[in-house]
A and B are shown apart, each in its own frame.
Chain A
Amino acid sequence: MDVAKYISSGVLELYVAGALTAEENLEVQEYAKKYPEIRQEIAEIELAILKVTEAASPGLHKNSFQFLYKRLGFTAPLPSNTKKIWATYLGWAASIVFAVGMLWMFLQNQKLKTAIEVTQQKRQTLEEQLYKAEQIITDNAAKETLFNQLRNKDVNVIALGGQKVAPASYAKAYWNKTQAKVFIDAKGLPEPPAGFTYQVWSLQLDPLVPTSIGLLKDFKNNGTAVFELDNPNESQAFGITLEPEGGSEAPNLEQLYTLGAVGP
């Protein structure tokens, strides 16, 4: 059969109009079953006539179906757009769930951020504590070493007494001759005035020959007030004078703070 020819004959337009005889109707239906093009054509003709008839409508009352529903004797609630309403509710519900979800996530996120901040703060505190502890350990170790050095059997302890300028001041020299080192404990010296520094001298007596063995540098910040200096000299006494910053070539004996002779 020539489908295109059949379609263009106009029989399908008559079919949609219901203008065919019962026999012709059946024939169209047989062909429609066989040929999808014919089914498609029928649908398109129907769509066109639906548009024409709809355009001719004077409109329906808003609740026209409700009237009809009542007239048909239904008492049950109108089925209405349950589907649509359900879908609408579902849509709203979904968006509410989504919004709540977002809010929840936001709050969770805030909580986490706060938790992270707290953790970071804790970490910082712990790090500080750790640092302090390490410092203490280091300090203790340093003190330990210092003690051991001072207790060394080779160390000769020389007490340096206060002189005219500062009768109340005192110091001690721990001299390890074998190691050629001297530790000055300057706890009993007053803090030097700005622009001045203590200078330690090794003295040979008779005739008096002073040899500088170093400065008590950074006096203020030395927690133990024990200064380690090299002393390769055959010292007979130790003296500490106040000198201008940087030290002097020869001691200013007028500013001699402490002095002590090495014992026999």
Chain B
Amino acid sequence: MNLEQLIEKFQQKDSQAFKELYDMYANNICGVIYVIIKDKERSQELCQDVFMKVWDKSSSYNTSKGRFFTWLLNIARNTAIDELRSKSHKNHKKNQPLDSFVGKLEQDNGLENQVNTIGLQSMLKGLKEKCVLLIDLLYFKGYTQKEAAEELQTPIGTIKTRIRTCMTQIRQNSKL
């Protein structure tokens, strides 16, 4: 069964198909949430919330919206950002600055062994800081091209060419 057929079955509320999609993407979703909220247990809970929403909103996905993973990514980011804005999170993490995912992971290195920091670091090896920042904004934080341009105070066209360069580097690293 290819991905399209699997998604179709899932949209017909096939729980087996849902499980397969969960197995395929749960770790990615959890990783995205973790990078945003930086709380291991809470991110695992929120990961479940995301898949609850995914199941409930399954009919709202269609291919014209983009890749299925992009759709999941969007739900995950929104869920994580809602969490950041929630009172409980603000109270819990008062003193934690909002930084990019690498900063957080570097702090955690050696402490949170569940996080595959070695894998992540090898993938980000040789990447310029502005690349890491841009990947963080676009893939993890869900910024649009325009928003990222504003945030980084660069022309909108530069965002495109830069993300191409950055992702090419990541792809090379991931093949090593």
**Chain A: residues with CB nearer than 8 A to chain B?**
8-11, 13-21, 25-26, 29, 42, 44-61, 64-65, 67-69, 71-72, 74, 76, 78-80, 82-83
Contact = CB atoms under 8 A, between A and B. Distances in A.
B16 A48 contact: no
Given A56-B120, A60-B44, A65-B22, A14 B34 contact: no
Interface of B: 15-16, 19, 22-23, 26-32, 34-35, 40, 43-44, 47-48, 51-52, 55, 63-67, 69-71, 73-74, 101, 105, 112, 114-117, 119-120, 123-124, 135, 138-140, 142-145, 148, 159-165, 167, 170-171, 174
B149 to A, nearest CB: 10
Nearest to A15: B66
A26 B1 CA distance: 26
Nearest to A50: B28
Chain B binding surface, main DSSP class: helix
A52 B163 contact: no
A48 B167 contact: yes
A43 B158 CA distance: 23
A57 B160 contact: no
Contacts of B138: 13-14, 17, 19
B16 A79 contact: yes
B72 to A, nearest CB: 10
A10 B51 contact: no
B96 to A, nearest CB: 16
Given A16-B70, A65-B19, A45 B167 contact: yes
Contacts of B170: 48-49, 52
Given A50-B28, A51-B123, A25 B139 contact: no
B167 A13 contact: yes
Given A54-B31, A56-B120, A64 B64 contact: no
B34 A58 contact: yes
Contacts of B144: 19-21
Contact of B142 (A18, A47, A79): A18
Contacts of A74: 15
